[in-house]
Amino acid sequence: MEKDTNPGRSEATDDAQIESAGTPGQRLTRRGLLAAAAASASGAVLASLPAAGQTSARVPQPATGSAAVESVSIPADPTRAPGPPTSALGARSPFEQPARAPTGVTSGSSMTPLQALSGTITPADLVFERHHAGVALIDPARYQLMIHGLVERPTVFSLADLRRLPSVSRTVFLECSGNGRAAFRAPKAEMTPQNVDGLTSNGEWTGVALTTLFREVGVRRTASWFRAEGGDAARLSRSIPLEKALADAMIAYAFNGEPLRPANGYPARLLLPGYEGNSCVKWVRRLELADGPGMFRDETSKYTDPLADGTSRQFSFVMDAKSLITAPAYPERLAGAGWIPISGLAWSGRGRIARVDVSVDGGRNWMRAELQEPVLALAHTRFTLMWEWDGAAATIMSRATDETGYTQPTLAEFRAKRGAGTDYHFNYIRGWVIQPDGRVSFAMEG
C-alpha cells in the first residue's frame, strides 16, 4: 500500500396545559415557552406577562423535513412589556432555530448547519457528530486514561489528574474524513451547505498537551507511533505517528470554554489539529506507545482510500485545503439583481489559508476574496467577496490555497487523480448555480 503520512407525555397535552396557564389572549406552546424562558421550570413568569401589547408570531422550526411552525407571544412594543428574568441556561431567540441533521443516528453522522452560522466559531451544540456505536455516556468520576507500552512509567490518569496538569487552548477545525461523500457520490441540486460539507466544525479546544503527558510517563527512544483506543462500544482504535504528538496534539476536555458535550467525546478525547476527525479518538481511554502502527480494523477495513491506479492510500491523516460558499446557497432565493455578498469558509490541515479566489462564471475567471481576520493555522477562515449580480444565470465557486502553495483541485482533476471509488478527503472545488429568477441550487458538476 502507498502510505501518505501528509454519529410518556404528548407534546399536544403539554401545549394544552401551558395554554391554559397563560392569560387570556396569550398563546404559548411548550417549545416556544422553553425557547423564550430557557431554564424556567414552570414558565410562570412568561405566563404572567401582561397581555397588553402582545402579538402572536409564527416561528419557523428547524429544517427537519417538517413544515410545522410554532406560535409564540412577542410584545408589539418590547419597551412596554417586561421580559423574563435570568435563567440557568441561555436560550436562542425563538426566531433562530439552527439544528444538526439528521437526528436519531446511532452509527453514522449528523451535520453542522454551516449556512446558519456567522464568523468561524461553531457553537458547542451544533458541532457535527460521527458515531460508530452511539454516544458513550461516561461518569467523569470513573474516567481513566491509561498510557503504557514503550514507556518508563506506565500511568493511569484520572480526569482530575488531567485537569491538574498545565493546560493549553487551540482554535482549530475538526473534519470527518468522509465529509463531502454524498455530494461526490450522489449530488442533488437541492443540497444545502450542511448536506454538502456539514461534517466540519471549528472552535477553541482546551486540554493537556500530549508532550506533557509523555514526559510524565517517559517515552522510550524505540517508540515511533502511539495507538489510541476509544471508550465507546465500538472501541475505535487508530495509530498515530509520534511526531504528531510532539507537534501539537492534546487530550482535550473542553470546547469553547465548557466541558466537551457527550457526543463530542466527554469527558476527554484525543485532538490532532489538521488530522482527519476519526483519528481524533473520542472518549479516549488508552494510549499505547509502540514501534509501529497497530493495523487495527478501523485503519484497514475503513479509512484506507482506494485510488484510480488500483493502489490504496493509507494513513492519509492530513486534511487537504478546502473551501465552501455558504451564502448564497440552496435554498436561498435572491431578491433581484444588485450587490450580493458571497461568503463562505476555507480551511487546511497543512496550516493557514493564504488566499481564497471566487469565480462567478463557472471557473473561467477568478477574483480574490477578502479573508476575515484573524487567519489562524489549522482553523476555519471566513472569506467574503462583494459581487454585483446582473440578474443573468451564473455559477459561483470558491477555491482555497494554503500557505504551502497547495490549491484545491477542480472536480475533473480530483476524479482523475483519486478515481470514482475514492471514499475520503473530498476537497475538490464546489459551486452553486444561480438562475435568473434568483433560485440557488448546488452545482452537481464542476
Mean pLDDT score of the chain: 88
Of the candidates 298, 314, 330, which is a domain's last residue?
314
Query: What amino acid occupies position 350?
Result: R
> What average pLDDT does this structure show over 146-171?
98
Same domain for 62 and 114: no
The H-or-E segment that residue 161 falls in is helix 159-164
Residue 103 lies in a domain: no
Quick one: which of 228, 199, 128, 237 has its CA closest to 424?
Answer: 199
Give the per-residue pLDDT at 44: 37
DSSP label of 313: E
DSSP line for 227-238: EEEESSTT--EE
Check whether residue 70 and residue 150 sit in a common domain.
no
Q: Is residue 97 part of a domain?
A: no
224-259 pLDDT tens trace: 999 999 999 999 999 999 999 999 999 999 999 999
Q: What is the pLDDT of residue 306?
A: 84
Provide the CB-side half-sphere exposure for 137 (13 A, CA).
Answer: 0
| Judgement on whether residues 74 and 116 belong to the same structural domain of the protein | no
% pLDDT > 90, the chain: 77
Tell whether 211 and 64 lie within a shared domain: no
pLDDT the model gives residue 38: 40
Distance (Å, whole) CA 109 – CA 131: 6
What's the number of domains the chain is made of? 3
The domain containing residue 345 runs over which residues?
A: 322-442
128: CATH: 3.90.420.10
Asked if residue 30 and residue 147 are part of one domain, the reply reads no
- 253 and 306 together in one domain: yes
The enclosing domain of 371 has a CATH number of 2.60.40.650
Place of cell 462500544: 233
Q: Do 395 and 310 lie in a common domain? A: no
* Count of other CB atoms within 10 angstroms of residue 241: 17
Residue 86 lies in a domain: no
DSSP structure class, residue 15: H
